[in-house]
Structure 1
Amino acid sequence: MTTDTQLSLPEGTATGIGSMPGTDAREAARVAVEAVAGLPFLPELPARGPGADMIGRTLGMLAELYARLEPSGWRFGDRPGRDTRRAVSWLGEDLDALEEFTQGYEGPLKVQVVGPWTLAAGVELRGGEAALSDPGACRDLAASLTEGLTAHLAGIARRVPGARPVLQLDEPSLTAVLEGRIRSASGYRTYRAVDRAVVEGALRDVIQAAGVPVTVHSCAPQVPFALLRRAGVAGISFDFDLLTERDWDAFGEAAEAGTALFAGVVPGKDAPLSDPAGSVSGVRALWRRLGLAPGDMGSAVAVTPSCGLAGASPAYARAALVHCAKAARSLVDNPE
């Protein structure tokens, strides 16, 4: 697989974060392909239960590492069990549905997995502490994830031969890992902050091995734009409302460097949907404040919900994605 970390967004791109409500894989795939513009995605349906959740789904992709669900959460084990088989089965069901609704499709197609650092923070070793507590375990986990991703992306290419896969690494815990805010099993202390160079290096290894454009998503505050760009991401996905003034320069530098910016501006749970142009008014205002060329905005910024849509009603989830598509179009038609 040839390495290509660049991502050129079609003008007026909209997409989802990944999770969708309900348990109907075919309906979720249909909406994820038809309702968005420019970047359809592989849905996740966590309402089905353990193994369909964000962590469990990714654990089912790992190479030669297995996990089971304990009362405290996901924990590594010696062999694949019921939980692993369930995760693999549900992913297969989702891929079958996606394949059905992408017959003849040619263009970018986004798939999502949990990134190495959120995975390390969210899965326990046999003793009960998070993998994050053991540098060797973090390295093994990242290597297993990398190998599993290679197989997963190859499967996508076989099922949808006209697709150009885009890999999204979900890293909502990344900033907490960098700042030493992940709590231990007892809850009375936190794990030591991981060195930024180590975090960056692990992400870079996964990105380079993937061989496709990679974006990183975090709906947490203080997304480390500069670190992610150094690691080689093609895009950064974030909750736009959580940006603060201290993030503005990093946002502008990313835009000028050609990093695709996935701005989460539409609520992820049922809420009134305003005029689509109004949903991206903050993006326009920041773009002007930073002195960026207005005409570049429509191909530099993709519009998304603020986070996943698993907590929304099915009707709202579809309406939110359609709204994202209209808002993205407004950035092209009315950049000023």
Structure 2
Amino acid sequence: MQVLPPLAATGIGSTPFWDSHAAARLILENLTEMPFWPQLPQKGFLEDMVPQGAGGLPLMQLDSEQRLVRLDERADREEGLTDFYEAVLQLDLDRFGLSPDEASGFYALLEELPASGGGGPEYVKGQIVGPITFATIVKGADGKAILFDQELTQAVTQGLALKAAWQAAKIRETGRWAIIFFDEPSLSGFGSAFMPISREEVIRLLTETITSARQAGLIYCGIHCCGNTDWSMLLETPVDILSFDSYEYFGTLKLYAKVLKDFLARGGYLAWGLVPTSPTAPIETEAALWQRFESQIRELADLGMDERLVLSQSLLTPACGLGYLSPEQARTAIVTLASLSQRGKTWLASL
């Protein structure tokens, strides 16, 4: 596996923009090493992450009026699952593709990329909702999450793996390497009464999703969780990149120093969510964000991790998606992130 560009800047997914091509150009102009395709939920329900994950999965029903994905109780379950697994066994990636109505930013970014051989980024980052978050949010008519339905949850892991692999295949057609994150915001509720799932089950579901995605052609897999969780649980999966909100939750991640050190030793990457994305977060200068990052890296060094290794295996991102910011705030976040990336590269070169 190729080594990723150290301290490259990329994004998480959602943006507040309406114009997919303008958003793609903004990203390509600033996040030059690892652009991400922008989700544009302002354009409509289909551009939200859960509807984007539903296509191709069995027994799913989209309700645009109520902005919900739910279990279709009227569908023939046996027939739906049989048809689904036939597609899985045949690696029918097109069944699991994103349409332009669902992901206009994906198509815009690929169209705006320079032609193969004409320069531009070597990597493109995509994203899809993770299996646990999808199975937690989607419910049946009884209001119960399909996470409690083992048969359906198993299908979700396979389907989302192939949706990630489909993105990777389309990105590879442009001559670039693909990096796909599975977004798992629901894991911030792990351990609460709202998510009665064991640690072992989380690891199993994520491991199966990553393994299936790799078997279908995806090479680089990330997991993004924008809240606090049991980080050792995620680090014990075969994930390549752990994406976390370092602005808010670095203090809890460093509590898992041993497993984090093992993760880095096996070649894992940390995607540091340096730039806050809450509209109510205090306004931070670039200098203040940089000082925070420097301090966090040195804290890991004090815990026995090699500073140069940590920096070499780090990417930089916003803390979460930019979708709740104003367009101007989102532009500022992207520009600031690009500048922080350059500062990081300078620091690494000096070591």
- Take 1:252 and 1:265, find their aligned partners in 2: how far apart are those partners? 20
Match of 2:35 in 1: 40
Report how far residue 116 of structure 1 moved.
Answer: 0.4
Check whether the contact 1:73–1:124 (CA below 8 A) recurs between aligned residues. no
Report how far residue 293 of structure 1 moved.
Answer: 2.4
Distance 1:72 1:22, change over 3 A: closer
Where structure 1 has 5 or more consecutive residues not aligned to the other structure, the ranges are 1-5, 81-86, 183-190
Match of 2:307 in 1: 294
- Take 2:159 and 2:239, find their aligned partners in 1: how far apart are those partners? 20
Structure 1 stretches of at least 4 aligned residues deviating more than 6 Å after TM superposition = none
Match of 2:113 in 1: 102
Number of paired residues? 311
Q: 1:57-94 CA distances to partner (integer Å, 9 max, x unpaired)?
A: 2223x3444322274832122679xxxxxx83423522
Distance 1:95 1:303, change over 3 A: closer
For residue 62 of structure 2, the aligned residue among 37, 46, 68 is 68
Match of 1:226 in 2: 232
Match of 2:140 in 1: 125
For residue 242 of structure 1, the aligned residue among 237, 241, 249 is 249
- Take 1:316 and 1:300, find their aligned partners in 2: how far apart are those partners? 28
For residue 220 of structure 2, the aligned residue among 208, 213, 216 is 213
- Take 2:311 and 2:338, find their aligned partners in 1: how far apart are those partners? 12
- Take 1:305 and 1:175, find their aligned partners in 2: how far apart are those partners? 17
Match of 2:191 in 1: 179
Q: 1:242-278 CA distances to partner (integer Å, 9 max, x unpaired)?
A: 1325244443333333210001111114634332632
- Take 2:342 and 2:140, find their aligned partners in 1: how far apart are those partners? 46
TM-score normalized with structure 2 length:
0.80
- Take 1:26 and 1:208, find their aligned partners in 2: how far apart are those partners? 33
Report how far residue 163 of structure 1 moved.
Answer: 1.1
For residue 265 of structure 1, the aligned residue among 274, 279, 286 is 274
2:33 aligned with 1:18:
no
Distance 1:285 1:274, change over 3 A: same
For residue 337 of structure 2, the aligned residue among 319, 324, 331 is 324
Check whether the contact 1:12–1:38 (CA below 8 A) recurs between aligned residues. no
2:44 aligned with 1:49:
yes
Where structure 2 has 5 or more consecutive residues not aligned to the other structure, the ranges are 81-97
- Take 2:114 and 2:133, find their aligned partners in 1: how far apart are those partners? 33
Report how far residue 56 of structure 1 moved.
Answer: 1.5
- Take 2:2 and 2:317, find their aligned partners in 1: how far apart are those partners? 16
SS at match of 2:223: strand
- Take 1:147 and 1:277, find their aligned partners in 2: how far apart are those partners? 37
